[in-house]
Structure 1
């Protein structure tokens, strides 16, 4: 059996505003194995993005446990969680979240440059390779404002992969793109998943993207549904 690279056990997430509280996640458990492609589908407000944030260490669960690469993840301090995210996780969002003042090459290189052991020449070579893989070798020095929506999303994909993560977490990665561009991003995701032998967990409304997964999980009101 493949090794488990990401695991959630009985995750609950409650948001409180004054005297009122809302349970967004209600005891969810999940295992993602090395190299596996899992899609999560569900209506807006069902808790999909919240779950992805908890799994990625961007937020803490109210109760439950999260394990990344067999290490308890959710109880670590912010610094240690950030280090593990940088080493083992890649993130792609519906909106690219690129740094506007930096070039495509600099944006892609950024996760590796944050490491104390970073070697600029090696980091730059890796970033250039990935930008070439996503078809943007001619856009290295362009800033996000000079790129199209599809190009910005391809830069974001290259950035997510530059550290060769064990798990890619993607939140509606094609949701803000036209159909043709969305298909290009989808094909890149599947090709690069194979090349880097990584697990992929994707939240999506795109039925074609969801159906391509090894497993499809359905979420409604913070729980899994048949």
Structure 2
């Protein structure tokens, strides 16, 4: 029996069907994803676990529209996502998705407040006052009110990851995708990030899909999907 639902309903935020991904290595093809399907429902927390090289991050990039599958389709909030042009995919990412990475990818020349506000400022109808208020609120929620004007180089690793989390949430996404969000953090800091993820997910009724090696974080999910060699496996 597969470990994902097969029935699509109106609460489905993300649906992937028969995803394959291959890369060319010299004269041969390397199959990284081998026919995976997945659904994530509104408000659901799903974790994906597996050893390094199992294809987890590649799958997450495909689901988030940062890469295209070799075969298969991805629906985001009821709209097919994988076959759109880069501009359209970028628009849908900005509207419906939040991203948190193991390496925070903050812009070093901007303050914490500016980094968090950036996704909203990219919108044509952005209201600077409302954007600033939203960014300030989220930085308060992640405990960084005292760091609004600090640049990433002036922040600790845990603080930078908190800024990245606030940035992922500033658009009030339907779904947050996270790739090893606590991979570079000590246990105490990682625990505080776990708690923030849980609280903000409930506050925003947001779905979360997290790739992690951290057993504690994985076990706190509604569902755990185990991945090996580009396939789902039974734990």
In the superposition, the TM-score normalised over structure 2's length comes to 0.95
1:4-83 alignment to 2 at 5 Å?
4-83=12-91
Structure 2 counterpart SS, 1:87: helix
Which residue does 1:206 correspond to in 2? 214
- Counterpart for residue 158 of structure 2: 150
| Secondary structure in 2 matching 1:135 | coil
Give the CA deviation at 1:21: 1.2
- For structure 2, the residue ranges without an aligned partner over 5 or more in a row are 1-8
3-state SS, counterpart of residue 146 of structure 2: helix
Aligned to 1:97: 105
Which of these residues, 198, 201, 204, is aligned with residue 190 of structure 1? 198
CA contact (8 A) 1:47 1:221 kept: yes
- 2:123 maps to 115
Per the alignment, in what secondary structure is the counterpart of residue 123 of structure 1?
helix
Partner of residue 175, structure 1: 183
Separation of aligned partners in 2, 1:196 and 1:23: 37
Asked whether the equivalents of residues 42 and 205 of structure 1 are also in contact (C-alpha less than 8 Å), the reply is yes
| Cross-structure match for 2:225 | 217
Distance in 2 (CA, whole Å) between partners of 1:140 and 1:192 is 19
RMSD: 0.7
2:3 maps to which residue?
none
Sort the Cα spacing of 1:211 and 1:2 in 2 relative to 1 into closer, same or farther, 3 A.
Answer: farther
- Once the two structures are superposed, residues 24-48 of structure 1 have per-residue CA deviations (whole angstroms, 9 ceiling, x without a partner) of 0000000000000000000000000
Q: Which stretches of structure 1, 4 residues or more, deviate above 6 A after TM superposition?
A: none
Aligned length: 226
The DSSP-based 3-state class of the residue aligned with 1:96 is coil
Q: How many Å apart are 1:18 and its aligned residue?
A: 2.9
Residue 17 of structure 1: how far off its partner (Å): 2.7
CA drift of 1:2 comes to 6.3
Long gaps (5+) in structure 1: none
SS in 2 for 1:115: coil
- The answer (yes or no) to whether the contact 1:2–1:34 under 8 Å persists in 2 is no
Contact 1:38/1:215 (8 A) holds in 2: yes
Aligned-partner Cα distance in 2 for 1:95–1:194: 25
Q: Distance in 1 between matches of 2:166 and 2:109?
A: 18
- Aligned equivalents of 1:104, 1:64: Cα separation in 2: 38
Deviation per residue, 1:87-112 (Å, 9 max, x gap): 00000000100000000000000000
